Structure 1
Amino acid sequence: MQTDAPISHSRCAFVHTRGVPANPDDLLVLLTVARLGRFTAAADVLGVNHTTISRRIALLEKAIGGRVLVQTPGGWELTDLGRDLLGPAEAIERAVAEVGERATGRGQLQGAVRVASPDGYAIHWLVPAVTRLQRDHPQLDLELITATQRAREARSGVDLEVVVGRPAVRRSAAEHLRDYRLQLYATKTYLDRAGTPTALADLGEHTLVYYIESALQVDDLDEASRRLPAPRSSLRSTSVFAHVAAVLADGGIGLLPDFLAEEEPSLLRVLPDYSYETGYWAVVRRESRRNPAVRAVLAALLE
């Protein structure tokens, strides 16, 4: 159960910003909200409830004498005064980390990093990368949210987001991770039953297995399916692993990532001339990129 317990072990000291004392716990709360953009997400990471987050931000603003956060459609963003406090807050975070390093005798990444990623990328690349990182840094907590979503300018609630297609963002940093191809696959059993298409127009007589477009709204993934004729029927899901399972169950012709389909020997390429290339990109909030743990997770993905 979430409580109103101390955020850290730093309550014994106070820092001074612009000559006004500020509780270091409140500065750590501000730092977490700045990185995640939501009170509820910060509360989850810090192990308190969202009303505690709101109260501590209010106490900090009272001590400092001004607003440190402003609410936007994309979540909470720092004001100029709030950005001035990032340096002192990060200094407190580093001091707490140094205490842990002295206790263990080695440098350790610590804290929580929250990542959102499409399930295909998460299972194939993200999970192996972060578990290797965590073996070297056992005090590092990782939270994975599987979601295939459009990149937004100010996505809040996560430190790092993996998206499909190059994102158009200005206030966040975008890093290219890897490319892949969407291609058409089916089983021999399905093709024997329904016939093998020899041209794109023939797909109009088949069942297409793919995403629910209205629930997805990812430009690259939408474009891949728009290039195909309207199917006779469809089997749609928000999970790429459901797509693979449906095609393996002889349910239709699937528009599947090549790296998943090529692992299944029973899947055959349909219309080999059709291929749509896209890629995975990492989007990191400006404040989150200052976090050493977030930078380490991003570096592990880029490797």
Structure 2
Amino acid sequence: MHNWDWDDLRLILAVAEHASFAGAARHLNVNHTTVLRRVNTFEQAHGLRIFNRLATGYTLTEAGEELLRTAEIMRGAVSDLSLRLEGKDLKLEGTLRITTCDTIMGSILPQILEKFSKQHEKIVVELSTGPFVTDLAQRHADVAIRTGDNPTESLIGRHLSDVRFALYASIEMAVLLEGDDPLTFTKWISPDLTFSQMAVTKWIQSTIPASSIIFKADSLISLRQAALAGMGIAPLPRYLGDNTPGLVRLKSDALDPFTTGLWILTHRDLRHTARVREFISFVSDELRQRSF
């Protein structure tokens, strides 16, 4: 009868997923020698060889693969239990993990977070601008503030607003363009293939000559910075462009047909957690007061 230690199994999972002790150590924020020592101790204690030591890395033995499957089941159970217990948390304190996109954090969200933190000093906000679907699915985040449409059914939340788009340019370039149709201008800034499915990107590809596009980027924040530098006209969400000193919204209705949703989302199991419920209510009220 083996007496499994979950911390040991968690460590073995990390080694298997990163194919190295060094990668596992970085992921778990521990020393490389600690990982090596604990794996060796585990193998000796249970009379098992978990890993094949190869020049290219570490692979699981047959026994290791069996152990990994069990460890993955245990990780899911521990995660589910943790989430259910967090969902019963009635205290306005602790860590609140938020995921959002760089455009929201680069414009309207910092002031809202500052007000929230002043009112709730015992809640520590941890923020990520990573891929929110992965963050929420893997439970690396409690709440997502995101643009988009049709959020996954496993999440619940509120549709806060429709986000509109417009054309922006630096103050100097706006003066140069005054009275002219922006669509005739020959210096444009465009999202790259990262945003190929976005309606605004498709509009640029079908409307603006390729010879007029002088800069592309995989970030709307980068497009904003290029427009601020006077490189050309950039299509941006209004919440980003309107909240950027030095940018001017150009007189054009070309992007009026394009909108997307602004959502605040969480797990079903966390909807009754006090700090999650309070944050969603606070941010919803704040964002609904703003123009998008």
Unaligned stretches of 5+ in structure 2?
A: 11-25, 40-68, 286-292
Structure 2 letter corresponding to 1:113: L
Q: Indicate the residue corresponding to 1:211 in structure 2.
A: 191
Over aligned residue pairs, what C-alpha RMSD do you find?
Answer: 4.4
Residue aligned with 2:263, SS: strand
Cα 1:249–1:299, aligned 2, differ >3 Å: closer, same or farther?
same
1:119, 1:293 → 2: CA distance? 23
Q: Deviation string for 1:216-256 (max 9, x for gaps)?
A: 46645645545543433332334434322321221011102
Q: Deviations over 1:75-123 (max 9, x none)?
A: x7x55x9757865x459x75xx7xxxxxxxxxx5122111111223224
- 1:267 is aligned to 248
Does the Cα contact within 8 Å between 1:171 and 1:286 map onto a contact in 2?
yes
Matched, 1:277 2:259: yes
Q: Equivalent residues in 2 for 1:1-303 (5 A)?
A: 70=73, 78=76, 89-90=85-86, 94=89, 109-147=92-130, 151=133, 155-156=137-138, 157-187=140-170, 189-190=172-173, 198=181, 200=183, 202=184, 206-214=186-194, 216=195, 219=198, 222-223=201-202, 225-226=204-205, 228-231=207-210, 232-263=212-243, 264=245, 267-269=248-250, 271-275=252-256, 276-303=258-285
TM-score, length basis structure 2: 0.58
User: What letter corresponds to residue 114 of structure 1 in structure 2?
Assistant: R
Aligned AA for 1:272? Answer: D
Does the C-alpha gap of structure 1 residues 230 and 143 become closer, same or farther in structure 2, counting only changes over 3 Å? farther
Looking at secondary structure, tell me which structure has more helix per residue: 2
- Greater Rg over alpha carbons, structure: 2
Specify the code of the residue in structure 2 equivalent to 1:121: I
- The answer (yes or no) to whether the contact 2:170–2:246 under 8 Å persists in 1 is no
2:160 maps to a residue whose letter is L
8 Å CA contact 1:177–1:282 kept in 2: the answer is: yes
Aligned residue pairs total 226
Shift in CA distance, 217/287, structure 1 to aligned 2, threshold 3 Å: farther
Distance 1:120 1:129 in 2: 14
- State the one-letter code of the partner of 1:165: G
Task: Evaluate the alpha carbon distance shift between residue 293 and residue 242 of structure 1 in structure 2; reply closer, same or farther with a 3 A threshold.
Answer: same
CA distance in 2 between partners of 1:266 and 1:130 (Å): 24
Once the two structures are superposed, residues 185-210 of structure 1 have per-residue CA deviations (whole angstroms, 9 ceiling, x without a partner) of 2246446779986374x46xx23224
- Give the partner amino acid of 2:261: G
In 2, Cα distance between equivalents of 1:217 and 1:294? 33
Relative contact order, higher structure (CA 8 A, sep 6+):
2
Structure 2 distance, partners of 1:199, 1:253, is: 8
Structure 1, residues 25-68: CA drift from partner, whole Å, max 9, x if none?
99xx9xxxxxxxxxxxxxx9xx976999xx9xxxxxxxxxx979
| C-alpha separation in 2, matches of 1:192 and 1:131 | 35
Residue identity matched to 1:253: I
Give the residue type in structure 2 aligned to 1:181. R
CA distance in 1, matches of 2:262, 2:202: 16
3-state DSSP of counterpart to 1:169: coil
Contact 2:92 2:274 in 1 (8 A): yes
Q: Secondary structure of 1:287's partner?
A: helix
Conserved 8 A contact 1:164-1:281: yes
Contact map agreement 1:125 1:301 (CA 8 A) in 2: no
* 3-state SS in 2 of match to 1:167: coil
Letter in 2 for 1:143: E
